[in-house]
Amino acid sequence: MSKLIIFAPHTGGNHLANIVGSSQNLDNCLNLQELELAYQTDKNARHTHINEFFVMYTANIKNNSIYVGHLDEVWNNYNRLKDKIKDVLVIDLSNKAQETIRKNKITYLESCAYTKNFVEKLFPNWKVESIDLDELFGNADTLKFILDGTSFSLDNRCVKLHNMWLKKIKDSK
């Protein structure tokens, strides 16, 4: 079985898939050394899943892999995905203040839809976990702590990559 991260645009889902996939040596991901090199040399690496694993573009969902998708993409591909995905992580937008929603170009509807509760109701066959958007954009050690004990846990070495990602985001503003 494989994993899936569901996220709204501009909320870090590709980056999260990169570091989770590398931490867990998933088959369709770069290893940590390759990912670190990509983050250092490719300015777009922090914004894309390095091997483009959007569910809408992937013909064959393979075992021991991680995929990403926005809610509508996952919904449109659910019949193809439902028996191949086991664990889902949604970047939860339910606690976002209006200022944060506007800053991240998130609509009010997205802030209601990208929640653990909503995703569980849409996709009852999957085990759904969530992480709050502010936790993802916060301290790397806190992120690691939150994901420990889930099927999306991180290797200690990914703390450095997450901090690198956060710095690049802050520097680009």
Mean pLDDT of the residues in the chain: 84
State whether residue 50 is helix, strand or coil. Answer: coil
- Please give the Cα distance from 149 to 46 (Å, whole number): 25
**Local confidence band at 93 (pLDDT 50, 70, 90 cut-offs):** confident
- Please give the Cα distance from 138 to 129 (Å, whole number): 18
CATH number at residue 65: 3.40.50
User: What is the average pLDDT across 38-52?
Assistant: 66
- pLDDT top residue among 130 and 102: 130
DSSP assigned state of 86: E
pLDDT at 42 over 80: no
Distances (CA, A) of 47 to 44, 75, 79, 127, 166: 5, 22, 28, 26, 11
Which range marks the domain in which residue 163 is found? 2-171
Burial, 78: exposed, middle or buried (Cβ in 10 Å; 0-12, 13-18, 19+)? middle
Q: What is the pLDDT of residue 31?
A: 86
Q: What is the pLDDT of residue 60?
A: 79
pLDDT at 94 over 80: no
User: What is the average pLDDT across 18-27?
Assistant: 91
- Residue 134 amino acid letter: D
User: What is the average pLDDT across 47-66?
Assistant: 72
**Local confidence band at 2 (pLDDT 50, 70, 90 cut-offs):** very high
- Please give the Cα distance from 19 to 36 (Å, whole number): 10
pLDDT at 50 over 70: no
Q: Which residue has the tokens 């991901």?
A: 29
Count of domains for the chain: 1
Answer yes or no: are the C-beta atoms of 114 and 93 closer than 8 Å: yes
The H or E element containing residue 72 is helix 71-76
pLDDT at 131 over 90: yes
